[in-house]
Every structure is written in C-alpha cells, then in structure tokens.
Amino acid sequence: MKELAIIGSPNCGKTTIFNRLTGTRQRTGNWPGVTVERKDGRLNLADQQLNVVDLPGVYSLHDDIQGIEARVAHQYLSEQNPELVLMALDATRLPRQLALLPELLAMGKPVLLVVNMLDTAAAEGIKVDLAELRKQTGLPVVGVTASTGEGFDQLKSAIASLLVAYPALPKTVDVKAVAAACYVENYGVTRTERIDHWMLHPLLALPIFLLVMYMLFTISVNLGAVFIDFFDIVLGSLFVETPRWLLLSLGAPEWLQAFVADGVGGGVQLVGTFIPTIGCLYLCMSVLEDSGYLSRAAFVIDRMMAKIGLPGQAFIPLIIGFGCNVPAVMASRALGQVSARLTTIFIAPFMSCGARLSVYVFVGTAFFPSQAQNAIFALYLLGILVAIASAWILRRSLFANVEAANVTEMPAYHKPLLRNILTQTWHRLSSFIWRAGKRIVAVVIVINVVSSLGSDGSWGNQNTEKSALSVVGKTLTPMFTPMGIGEQNWPATVGLFTGLFAKEVVVGTLDTLYAPPLVQASDEVSLPSYGADLAEALASIAENAVGLVTAFTDPLKITATQEEITAQQPGSYQAMQNLFPSAWGAFCYLVFILLYAPCVATIGVMQKEAGQVWLSFSVVWSLLLSYWLATNLWHIALLFSAPLAAGSWIVGSTVLLYVAYRLIMAQMRRGMRDQIPVVNL
C-alpha cells in the first residue's frame, strides 16, 4: 500500500488535515505536542487506498529544544520512503513555516505544499499568492481551510495526480525570497493583536488566567449538577430496581442480588452520575483549546515556570492532566530536555484528573453543599501549588544549574467550531466512561459482595460489624487517625485502598459503604414505574435549572438556608457526615486523595517513560507529602483545643519529613544515573 506523510510546524492545522483526509478522530488543538507518536489512517481515492502517517509537529528536523518530536519525524523520513510528503503550512505565519522546507528537499522527499487557514489569513488582512508560491518553489501547491473542509476536493485530486507523476524536485529553495514574493503581511493591528493586548497584558494576564480557570470549574460543577439527578433516577430504575424486582420475583439468593442489582446496576448508575460534570469539564476545555487561548496560558506562566526549571510548554501536559494523568505523562515526551521531561512526569499526578473530580463532587457536596465549587477549586489550586513546590525542589537539588528552554507558537484566535468541540468532548468523555466505568462496576461488585458476606459465611451483612469489609477497614484505619479518621469511619480507609486501583472507584466505595442498609426484601415486589420515573427525572432538570441561575448570581450561595441544603442530600451523605469529625476533617481526607498516589494506569506509564528508579521516587514522595500535609492540616485545626499535642505533631512530622527528604535525595543522586530509559519510538 502506498504511503503519504503529513508534516508541519505546531499549530499549523496538520492533524485537522489528517482527520479530514482519513476520517480518523484524534485530539486536535492549537498547541504543540498533541501527536508525539506516529498516527496512521486510510485515505480512499477513486482507484486506490493509501496509508497516511501523521508526524509530530516540528519546526525543524534537527531541533534540540523539541527533542523527541524532531527525532521521531527525522527517523521516519530517513528510514521510510513515503510516495508523497504533505507539508502543512499556516497561511498566517508562512515565512516561519517555510523554514522546514529546505530540510525536506535535502532529504530528497517529494513535497506537496498544503497552505491551510486561508480564511484566518484573509480575516487578518494577510495575502498569500498561491500561484507565486508555486512558481518560486517549483513545487505543487494547494490551498485549503481544514476547519471547514474547503479545498479538500482539489487536495485529493492533486494527491492522485502526483502519485502518478511527480515533477522534477528542486534541490533547495531560498525561503526568504519565497516569502517576500508571495506573502504580504498586514502591518495594521489585527484582531488577534487586539485581543492579546488584554490577554497578555503584564498586569491583567495572570488574573484573567485565574478567572478563566475558576469559571472552567464553576461551570463544570454547576451546569453538570443540573443533569445529575436525571441520570441517577433513570439509570437507577433501569439497572438497579428492575434487576432487583426480577431477582426477588425468581427467589434468587441474596448473593446474586448483591452481585447483579447492587453491584453491576449500582456501578452503572454511579458512572452515569459522573457524565454531566465530567462532560461539562471536557466541553469547556475543548472550547479553550479550539479558541487558541491555551497557548496564551502557556506563555503567561512561562516566566514563573522557568523559576522551577520548566519551559512554558510543559504547561500543556499539566493541563492535559486535569483530564487524565495517563496522557499527561505520555505528553511529556514532547519536552526535549531530560530534566524538564522527568520533572513534568514527577508533578503531573498532582494535577486533579477527572476521576478525582468525581470524588471531590461526592464528598464536597456532602460537607460543603453551599460552596462545593469553591472547595473543589481550592483542591485544584493546592495540587498546582504542590506541583510547583515539588518542581522547585527538584530544580534546587537534582537538576541544579539546568536552564529551561522553550519555544511557544501562539496561533491566531479562532472562533471555536461546534463540530470540533463536540468531537473532542465526545472522544474524551466516552474514553473516560469506558475506562472508568469498567473499573467502577468491577469494584462496586467486589465491595458489595464482600460487604454482604459476613465473617460467619452468611449474606446480607452490608454495613454491619459482621461484614468482611468492615474487618479489613478497621485493621487499616488506625494509620489514618492523625488526619481525623476515627475507628468507626473505616469506609474512608477502604476508599483509599480501592483508590490505588483507580481514583474514580473511590466514589463507588464510599457510596456503597456509607449508604444506609437496604430494606429487607419481601415476598411482594412490584416492577418499577418507568413512566413515573422518567417524569420525575425530567422534572429534576427543570428544578435544578432554576437553581443554576442562583449558582451564578450567588456563587457562594450566601442566601441558601441550611434546610434547603440538607434536603438535597442522599442517605449516604448523612452517614458520612456523622462519621467524619467535621467538614475540615473531610477536606483533609480529600487532600490525601489528591496527593497520596497515582492510579495503577498512571504508575505503569510512568515506569515506561521514566524508569523504575524515578517511579519509585515519585510514589514515595507522594505518599510522604500527602500524609504530612493531610495530618498537619488536621492538627492545625486542633491548635486551639490541644495546642501542645497538635504543635508537637506538626513540628515532629516536619522534622521527620525533612530527614526523609535528605535521605531520599542522597539515594536518588546515587541511583538515578543511567536509569532513564530511551523512549520506544
């Protein structure tokens, strides 16, 4: 099968062209580092099928700053012989984009120039003469607008004809002369420059960034909350109550009821309640990506990140970490410097992923119902601060005297396209549902079965002293007493244990163990009323939508009464409120969940990308730091009631943490040498 390759600078629309040609759905955005590895797709022309390779976005094939990305592209072009190389060019930045062309010609590769974003160039007052570009370079040229699909019929026709007969290839070109002949820049003030005057203002840029991040999570929590009850009611009726009715009617044993109705059905119901909030978060992030703002965000914090040894480009993997830590760790490959890559891998798990968000929403709604979004925002900020502090420590110790290097391409602002936004959102949300859903259902099944199983072999022992799960939880709970988790609050301990497998299953654990005991089954059961349940679910949307207005006009919900707050809380919330000593104790628990260890999937990727030594260092550091911070936050609250004991704990634990830090750093200096793996390309 004949093969095409697509190459170009970051943010030139290369991946969007790839998607248009092949139909492949892949993450796209206005920032570099999305496609680090080779991506393949199929292009069907009239009489043949072609394999299309999407190469990483690079400025040069010999770029030390881009590092791995440049090596991936150079290795492919050196070892493979594609029949045609499509070089994507951003029409708004044509002179800089052409810098890669002489390197491709020096390798003897047949090139088709694909000038993208012609609509944006026209809006910015930039003129690109395609005929003159064709004349000056001696290469075939096609103009397209990948976001709308304009020009792709001509592109496919050009590909088909060039595969039959490619004209003589020039040895090189003078890119400066080419740009001067075919590119006329608008020296007036463009729309992008007018917007950047405020977005990149020395005094306003950082407040705007913080405001955007705050609105991101406020919208996600409040808008998502409108639909949570709908999913909860509908899925509960279909997957919990219906199987329970069927099993009770058939006289099924209690263990089967616990497995099917409470385990499988309850897990599906729980996954469904995540969909609104997580979906809104991904939707907002897609809008920011498609508009071009995220590149500005990287620029805004570049100077601050340089102080901790990271380039502004490292902001991109960290932002990805808010969705999932696994791709965040993998995206660190885009960083050329080894120190920057290892530091990013080290701190990426401190970014609160979507799975942790579901835990924050569950616990936060129970203890901070009037200010849930503020508590969640505080946790996100705390994770960022811990990441910054950890990176600063690495810069001062293991990576002293290493300077950060960075090249950030800031594209023109774009009007976000609904098609792109929905595609990106659906890809992320469906991936989260499938990945998280399997784990949640599996863990909820196990927890329900183990919780139902008694130490004497009997069934139906949920939330009792006889439960096998109660025995396990009580055994481990004393370890967490210093952070306010009492002996009777063993469900919180079990949640921490299951969270090692996947953070999203913490919610399933807590919801199952804190839920009040089920009503004993009777001989008389009835099939759920689907019509009534659907009506109730639809009514909940309208009712919650009314509260949405208040959520934005009164974000702190100062006017909410305690009765209104309490009336909205399910039964498991009441049990959780009774077992935690206070709302502050619950917050300390969330702090520990935020920091204590990444999930097993992230651990596996970290081992592959950074090696066993760096992985062990990261996990040990996370456990020590999370335990120290959570326990000290709890003891700070005890300073007024028990100043001597609380102060002694704070001082003693801090001294022990410092000693552990010195020992770990000494060991790392001896052990990390020659332990960094070469990424498998």
Is 265 marked within a binding site?
no
- Whether 676 maps to a domain, the answer reads no
226 and 136 within one domain: no
425 and 326 within one domain: yes
Is 358 in contact with 277 (CB distance < 8 Å)? yes
Is 156 marked within a binding site?
no
- Whether 375 maps to a domain, the answer reads yes
Q: Give 35-44 pLDDT, tens digit per residue.
A: 355 678 888 8
Is 85 marked within a binding site?
no
* Boundary-marking domain end, from 188, 223, 249: 188
Is 241 marked within a binding site?
no
Is 118 marked within a binding site?
yes
pLDDT at 258: 77
Is 41 in contact with 24 (CB distance < 8 Å)? yes
Is 556 marked within a binding site?
no
Is 182 marked within a binding site?
no
Q: How far apart are CA 329 and CA 348, in angstroms?
A: 6
302 and 175 within one domain: no
155 and 220 within one domain: no
426 and 353 within one domain: yes
Q: Give 503-530 pLDDT, tens digit per residue.
A: 877 887 787 778 765 544 444 556 778 8
pLDDT at 379: 92
pLDDT at 33: 41
- Whether 680 maps to a domain, the answer reads no
Q: Give 216-248 pLDDT, tens digit per residue.
A: 767 877 788 788 889 988 998 998 889 888 988
pLDDT at 620: 94
pLDDT at 78: 86
- To the nearest 10°, report the CA torsion of 25, 29, 32, 33: -40
Q: Give 239-274 pLDDT, tens digit per residue.
A: 888 988 898 888 888 778 778 887 888 888 877 877
Domain count, the chain: 2
pTM value > 0.85: no
Could you tell me whether strands 183-184 and 127-128 are parallel, antiparallel, or unpaired per DSSP bridges? antiparallel
632 and 504 within one domain: yes
Is 119 marked within a binding site?
yes
- Per residue, what are the HEC states of 622-645? HHHHHHHHHHHHHHHHCCCCCHHH
616 and 544 within one domain: yes
- Whether 193 maps to a domain, the answer reads no
Is 34 marked within a binding site?
yes
pLDDT at 567: 46
pLDDT at 651: 96
213 and 182 within one domain: no
232 and 163 within one domain: no
Is 202 marked within a binding site?
no
Is 12 marked within a binding site?
yes
Enclosing domain of residue 178: 3-188
377 and 319 within one domain: yes
315 and 251 within one domain: yes
- Whether 154 maps to a domain, the answer reads yes
Low-confidence ranges of the chain (pLDDT < 50): 25-35, 519-523, 556-569, 674-681
Is 495 marked within a binding site?
no
Is 370 marked within a binding site?
no
Is 90 marked within a binding site?
no
Is 117 marked within a binding site?
yes
Q: How far apart are CA 551 and CA 534, in angstroms?
A: 25
pLDDT at 315: 77
Is 437 marked within a binding site?
no
Is 116 marked within a binding site?
yes
* Boundary-marking domain end, from 188, 223, 247: 188
Q: What is the largest CA-CA distance in the chain?
A: 88
- Whether 200 maps to a domain, the answer reads no
pLDDT at 48: 83
Is 10 marked within a binding site?
yes
301 and 267 within one domain: yes
Is 47 marked within a binding site?
no
Is 9 marked within a binding site?
yes
**First and final C-alpha spacing in the chain:** 22
